[in-house]
Structure 1
């Protein structure tokens, strides 16, 4: 695809563009708006970090992008464009052609995401046979198996050829995550959505998996969305960060700028939870309170009840405000030098 350039910013058109996304789920207690008015862009080749507490709407946002919201859940409003195509107009056949080939997603728990009744070879080859256009028509499964072995070697599975016919439960947690990545990258997608790729892994394996994703991103030239609750992870592996809270984006900007100069109190609170090697005796101050109930939220700052810097004006609807080059925050005090 030829990339068009914006006359205002002279940047390539985004690979993924989300505008005004609202995703809802009916419950007995009322309508839960899990994602409420999200605007996001993912540029070609960049790594975007999505950060926030559990229940902030991170996974639901990208489940909406990849067409995994099923009734009674629904996308109530908004547009989602990928590589120039309107994803909200796709029929089931269009989704089958897109998922796995152009957009791939690794789920939080590899053990439950992988099919326990199929071998690793069957699960990788299935994707390749369905989507890889360069495989020969004759002996397609044999060619797919050879490609699958290459992918397992690429993601660091020892003795890849001899382990192809093993089942997911025969691998460790870190190896299962690598297998998930191999399946997701088998067809060289343009966008990889990595949803908590290091959940339940020890620190050493976490670093290996994240480094692997970064290396493969550079090798394939793909874009990556890294969903996590850990700002320490995105500080090292992403180009840009979007902080989510209660279904909304509350701050977004280049990673270094956002971490060095956070402009939303919630972002400041998340950064304050990261232990500092320069001062090991410094107390870690938790963010008091809980994420609000997502039923019937009005037009107010959703962080106001937990914010130590709130003002009376915070009880009104607050839009995103520019606070620097490509840096925005949803706070009336975003332009201040906060304590």
Structure 2
């Protein structure tokens, strides 16, 4: 059974210019232990989708879905209190700027202790206190922090960017969530630190059988063991499926462009070569194109693209495009 099952999720917003569809019929399935990466430019709706999963959307936004299930339970049918209980118990989220989300008034030790469920420690007051401190040290070791004595006494502003991100991961996994959402956790980090965080997330997914939903702008920074990959653009799903298949033979022009624009490919360009970028910019919500929203920027666009393409299937890939790439020869 899928851990998370989303079918045709749509988020709409009322504006003075009329109703705007911020997310347009998004589908997503996650299994226990799966690493799933969501890739797209800024403004594509990646973080909005994550917020819809954990239930922290703006009340003014209208969410509808044919299915929004967590472990077979309909999240839309739950009360606010019941939804919060599931989110607090089974889900956790880490962010791009950990220092901004860690409490600046408390030490690292205090923040991790607060995240440990009360039921994980038993016995007398002193025994509970000792068990919590032991658990905190174990969590820091698990995320790759060896000098725990120094880090435990530190405040967030005293930590380096890499250590702060590891601490935020320790806080997130303290209650053993079934789903960890990582919203661009390695953006602007130096390569060595970025690789450490990526290896850590992969290790947690394997050792804890925890699903990881990674959100990133650079397709080259997805986790090495990513099983499935989803490409979003301007609130629409462009392509999704097996990560290896998508990277080797993308069907959608947007997927192909994101691969060409990845930092990994740019490092191999000859000196003074032009960067392979899509023309134009992501449109604003007030000026969304009709049909396929990539149309005005797509190198393969034709008149038919003013009609929204239906979903097409090819092996382990699902895409929305009238003129797909790398079509198998008949």
Instruction: Report the TM-score, using the length of structure 2 for normalisation.
Output: 0.90
Q: Does 1:327 align with 2:313?
A: no
CA displacement, residues 239-262 of structure 1 (integer Å, 9 cap, x when unaligned): 110000011111011111101111
- Larger helix proportion, structure 1 or 2? 2
Distance 1:75 1:57 in 2: 14
Runs of at least 5 residues in structure 2 that lack an aligned partner in the other structure: none
Of 199, 211, 217, which aligns to 2:187? 199
Aligned to 1:171: 159
How far is the alpha carbon of 1:30 from its aligned partner? 4.7
Correspondence 1:84 to 2:72: yes
- For the 8 Å contact 1:250–1:320, the answer to whether it is kept is no
Alignment deviations for residues 168-197 of structure 1 (CA, whole Å, 9 cap, x no partner): 111011111101110111122111111101
Is 1:160 the counterpart of 2:151? The answer is no
- Aligned residue among 36, 41, 44 for 1:48: 36
Closer, same or farther: CA 241–178 of 1 in aligned 2, 3 Å: same
Corresponding residue of 1:250: 238
Which residue is equivalent to 1:112?
Answer: 100
Cα contact 2:117–2:175 (8 A) shared by 1: no
Q: 1:136 — aligned with what?
A: 122
1:124 aligns with 112
1:79: Cα distance to partner? 2.8
Q: Do the aligned partners of residues 289 and 137 (structure 1) sit closer, same or farther apart at CA in structure 2, a change above 3 Å counting? A: farther
For 1:294, the equivalent position in structure 2 comes to 285
Partner of 1:38 in structure 2? 26
Q: How has the CA–CA distance of structure 1 residues 323 and 200 changed in structure 2, closer, same or farther, with 3 Å as cutoff? A: same
User: Residue 38 and residue 137 in structure 1: after superposition, are their counterparts in 2 closer, same or farther (change >3 A)?
Assistant: farther
Contact 1:57–1:247 (CA under 8 A) maintained in structure 2: yes
Partner of 1:307: 298
The number of residues matched between the two structures is 323
Q: CA deviation at 1:69?
A: 0.7
CA contact (8 A) 1:301 1:316 kept: yes
2: CA distance between counterparts of 1:176 and 1:278? 31
- The equivalent residue for 2:209 is 221
Distance 2:167 2:282 in 1: 34
Change in Cα spacing, 1:117 to 1:331, as seen in structure 2 (3 Å) is same
SS in 1 for 2:135: helix
1:22/1:78 contact within 8 Å kept: no
- For the Cα contact (< 8 Å) 1:190–1:223, is it kept in 2? yes
Q: CA deviation at 1:136?
A: 1.1
Q: Per the alignment, in what secondary structure is the counterpart of residue 49 of structure 1?
A: strand
Instruction: Give the equivalent residue in structure 2 for 1:212.
Output: 200
TM-score when normalising by structure 1: 0.88
Q: Which runs of 5+ in 1 are unaligned?
A: 1-12
